Amino acid sequence: MSDNVYALLASGFPSDRASPCFLIGERTISYGALETGAARLAALLIRRGVNPGDRVAVQAPKSPESVMLYLAVLMAGAVYLPLNTAYTAHEVRYFLDDAEPALFVADAVPLAREAEALAPLAAPVERAADDLAAIVYTSGTTGRSKGAMINHRNMAANAVALHRAWGFRPGDVLLHALPIFHIHGLFVALHTALLNGSPMLWHAKFDADAVLADLPRATVMMGVPTFYTRLLEHPGLGRAQAEPMRLFVCGSAPLLESTFEAFAARTGHRILERYGMSEAGIITSNPLDGERIAGSVGYPLPGVEVRTDRAGGIEIRGESVFSGYWRMPEKTREEFTSDGFFKTGDVGRQDPDGRLWISGRAKDLIISGGFNVYPKEIELVLDVLPGVTESAVIAVPHPDFGEAVVAVIAGRGEESAVIDAARERLAGFKAPKRVFFVDDLPRNAMGKVQKAVLRAEYAGVFDPVAMHGAQGPESPRR
C-alpha cells in the first residue's frame, strides 16, 4: 500500500465533497474543488517534468490555490519546499542552490488556471513512508540555514497524533490566520483540519479586526503568541466573541504567563500551549482535558519520547522526528545521539510525570564570569515589574566577565530600579548589568523574539573604546 500522506489526508475529506473547505468572507470553496484542483495541478507538475523525489520550491502568497499546489506536490510524489514570502531574491538564491528544485513557483494562482485544462491525476503517486515529502529550512538565526528532511511517515504520525490529542470532532471549524510557509500553518493547522474534513475560516494574514469578526463562527484557532496579545489589545474581545470556541492553541514561541492569564480573564478560555519545531512537528502539548499550566508546554505527544541531558538539553525521538538535514550528513550526525535522539537545541526540565518546561535555547545561555545564566529565569523576574510588557535577556561581550547579562525591555522604567529589583530576587551575577528600554522587541514572522538581532545591536555596549568615546555608555555597574 502507498504511504503517500496525501491519501491519509484525503481519507478525512467529508464524503459529501460539496462540503466547504475554505470560507473566505462570502466566498466558499468546497472539498471537491480542493481535491480536483490539487489533482489537476499534480497532472500539470508531472507534465512539466517534475518527477517523484524532485523538489518544488514555493514562495507564494497564501491562497486556496497555494494549498492545492502543496497537495499536488504530495500527490505527484515530489518534495515540497516552502519559502517565507519575506525572503529577498538574494536569500532565495541560497535555497535554490542548496535544494536544486525542478520548479520554483512564485504564485500558485496562474498555475491553477493553467491546470484547469488538464484531466486530474487519477491517484497519488506511490510513496514509501521513508520517502521525502518536504524540506523545511529552519529559521536558524546563525550559520547556514539547514533543510530539515520530512518524510511521509513523519507527517502522517504528527497529523494523526494531533488530530486525536486536540479532540477534533464533527462540526469543528478552524480559524486559519497563520502563514503557510511555516510548519505551524502548513502542517499543524492544515493537516488537522483536512484530516477532520473541517471548513477553515481562511485569512490571508492575521488582522485582529477580521479575526475577531470570524471568531463566533469558529471552534478552534491556532496562533502564535502575537495573535493573542493583539487580540487582547482589541477592545472588542470579550466572552461573547469566544463563546462557540472550544480550543485556542498557541505555539512557535513562548507564551507569556501574563498573556495566558489576561486571555483567561477576558474570554474564559485557557490557551493550550504546545511546543514544536520544523524538525519534528509538534513534540509536546498541554492536555485537552486536564490542567493547562502557563509557562509549561505540557506532555510528550503519543509516539514521541522526550528526555533532557545533564545540562537540560531537550532530546527527542519518535515517528514524527525528521531523518536529517538535506545534504549535511556531518551536521546530521552531530545533532543525533548514538541511540537516535535528536538534540533540539532547546533547554528545559521535565517533571517526574513528563510535563516539560522550556527555559530557552542552548545558544542563548549566558556565561558571565564563569557562571551559567539562563535568560528565562531573569526574564520571568523582569516581566512582572511595573512598566514592563516583556523582556529579552541576552549576552553581550564584556572585557571583564567575558559575557555580561543585558536586559532589553519592551516598556518603560528606570534602569537602576530594574537592576535593584533583579538583585533583590536573584544572585548578583544573574542581575542585568545594563537595561535598555524599547517600544517593541524585534520578532520574526512566527513571533519569535530575535535575540541574535539584539545581540548584534548591543554588542558594543561594554566595548572599552566605545566606552571612552563621547557617546559611549557609562561604566557597567558591578
By beta-carbon proximity to ligand AMP, the closer residue of 344 and 350 is: 344
Is-contact 70 58, C-beta < 8 A?
yes
Closest CB 183 distance from ligand AMP, rounded Å: 6
Q: Which residue type, as a one-letter code, is found at position 200?
A: M
Closest CB 184 distance from ligand AMP, rounded Å: 7
By beta-carbon proximity to ligand AMP, the closer residue of 158 and 344 is: 344
| Nine-digit cell string for 289 | 482535558
29-34, long-range: CB < 8 A, 24+ apart: 29/64, 31/197, 34/64, 34/67, 34/68, 34/71
267: closest CA among 287, 244, 286? Answer: 244
By beta-carbon proximity to ligand AMP, the closer residue of 65 and 273 is: 273
By beta-carbon proximity to ligand AMP, the closer residue of 40 and 455 is: 455
By beta-carbon proximity to ligand AMP, the closer residue of 346 and 403 is: 346
Is-contact 396 461, C-beta < 8 A?
yes
Is-contact 188 282, C-beta < 8 A?
yes
Closest CB 358 distance from ligand AMP, rounded Å: 5
By beta-carbon proximity to ligand AMP, the closer residue of 139 and 308 is: 139
CA distances from 241 to 214, 231, 447 (A): 9, 11, 24
Closest CB 361 distance from ligand AMP, rounded Å: 5
By beta-carbon proximity to ligand AMP, the closer residue of 39 and 224 is: 224
Is-contact 39 69, C-beta < 8 A?
no
- C-alpha angle 311/317/323, rounded to 5°? 115
Closest CB 252 distance from ligand AMP, rounded Å: 5
Sign of torsion over alpha carbons 118, 123, 125, 129: positive
Closest CB 375 distance from ligand AMP, rounded Å: 12
Residues forming beta bridges with residue 435, ordered by sequence position: 407
Positions in the binding site for ligand AMP (CB under 6 A): 138-139, 183, 251-254, 273, 275-278, 297, 344, 346, 358, 361, 446
Task: Please state the φ and ψ torsions of residue 81, each to the nearest 5 degrees.
Answer: -125, 95
CA atoms within 13 Å, Cβ hemisphere of 74: 29
Closest CB 364 distance from ligand AMP, rounded Å: 9
By beta-carbon proximity to ligand AMP, the closer residue of 132 and 183 is: 183
Closest CB 158 distance from ligand AMP, rounded Å: 13
175 CB neighbour count, 10 Å cutoff = 25
